[in-house]
Every structure is written in C-alpha cells, then in structure tokens.
Amino acid sequence: MKSLPYFCRGEVIKGFGRGSKELGIPTANLPDSVVDNLPADLNTGIYYGWACVGAGDIHKMVMSIGWNPFYKNIKKSMEAHLIHTFKEDFYGEILSVVLVGYVRPERSFSSLEALILAITGDIEEAKVKLELPEHLELRGDNFFTSAPSGSSAAPPTAPSASQTILNGH
C-alpha cells in the first residue's frame, strides 16, 4: 500500500462499549478528525505498527480500521491495541501511531472464540514482523520524540496542527 508508513496522532476517545477490554484486548479509539484524514487508498482491515501514549514509551501495536456499526456502517473508526500492559486507562491522552504493515482485511466471525483467536494471531504476526530492520527503524522516527506530552507541558505545536502537517494535508 503506497500510503504506508502512515503517521497520525489524536486524543484517545471513548469507544462504543463493545467490551474489548472484557475480552482482554482493549482498543484505544481515535477521533473522527484523525479517521477523516486517512488517505483513500488505505484499505480497511488490520494493521500493525508502533504507538506511544503522550511522551511515553513506544510499543508494538495492532490497529483495526473499519466501519463502525454504531453509525450504521457509514463512519470509519480507528482502534489501536497496544501490546503492553498499562497500569491505568489513558482516555484523553494523545496517542501517536505509525502504521507500518497490513495484516488482513476485516471480516466477521461465527463465534467470540474465533474472533479472539484471529486477534491473537494478528498480535503474534505484528510482534514478529515489527522485528524486521526496516520496521524497527520507524520506531526511532522523530515523529515519536516530538510527540506532545498531553495536558502537562505546553507543546510548541498543537496536536491537530502537527497531525495536519505530518499527514501532508
């Protein structure tokens, strides 16, 4: 996909209460402003990449980009599961993400077990693929060191401004 790698950041918002956390796979949802900036050629489906919360450590992650049933399937959503155990939720923090590779298209599953199995497989694939030298390199991108630290320090550029620049719009 020619839009990869794709950098973006935005505030973590409340999701749609689909119980991801109860499945052991919480997903941090990004706002519509970030979703609406996605390039047209970026297919829906599951991606892997790197992510950090505020100015925190960079972690491996998988992201689902798909159609949100809440809006009758007319609105795309972006949800990231960071492969790390956090002590606390981070709603309202700035999540910085680089999408590095594509795993698979979206699909529905006949059972919860099948869904969880697929996501577990996605996570394992992400862990392995992200060790490739060209993917590890993106972990060190300036994008992450310039990540705003959320509400504390005053960032030189507002998150929305840097997102706009980085996305080339």
Select the binding partner of residue 78 from Mg ion, ligand ADP, none (C-beta < 5 to 8 A, by kind).
none
Q: Which of the stretches 7-15, 42-50, 99-107, 148-156 binds ligand ADP when contact is defined by CB under 6 A?
A: 7-15
3-state secondary structure of 9: strand
* Nearest to ligand ADP of 21, 127 (CB atom): 21
How many residues sit in the footprint of ligand ADP (CB under 6 A)? 20
* 15 binds Mg ion, rule: CB under 5 A: yes
Q: Which of the stretches 41-49, 89-97, 122-130, 147-155 binds ligand ADP when contact is defined by CB under 6 A?
A: 89-97
* 64 binds Mg ion, rule: CB under 5 A: no
* Nearest to ligand ADP of 54, 148 (CB atom): 54
Cross-strand partners of 104: 46
3-state secondary structure of 8: strand
| Cβ burial 82-118 (10 Å sphere, 16+ → b, else e) | beeeeeeebeebbbbbbbbbebeeeeeeeeeeeeeee
The residue number with the shortest CB distance to ligand ADP is 15
Pairwise CA distance, residues 93 & 95, whole Å: 6
Token pair for 119: 């996501």
Confirm whether 79 is a catalytic residue. Answer: yes
Tell the residue number behind the tokens 């020619």, with chain if given: 2
* Nearest to ligand ADP of 28, 99 (CB atom): 28
Short-list 34, 1, 9, 23, CA closest to 123: 23
Interface pick for ligand ADP out of 10, 26, 49, 54 (rule CB under 6 A): 26
Active-site residues, by number, are: 79
Residues within the interface to Mg ion (CB under 5 A): 15, 20, 27, 29, 79
Residues within the interface to ligand ADP (CB under 6 A): 12, 14-18, 20-21, 26-29, 80-82, 84, 86, 89-91
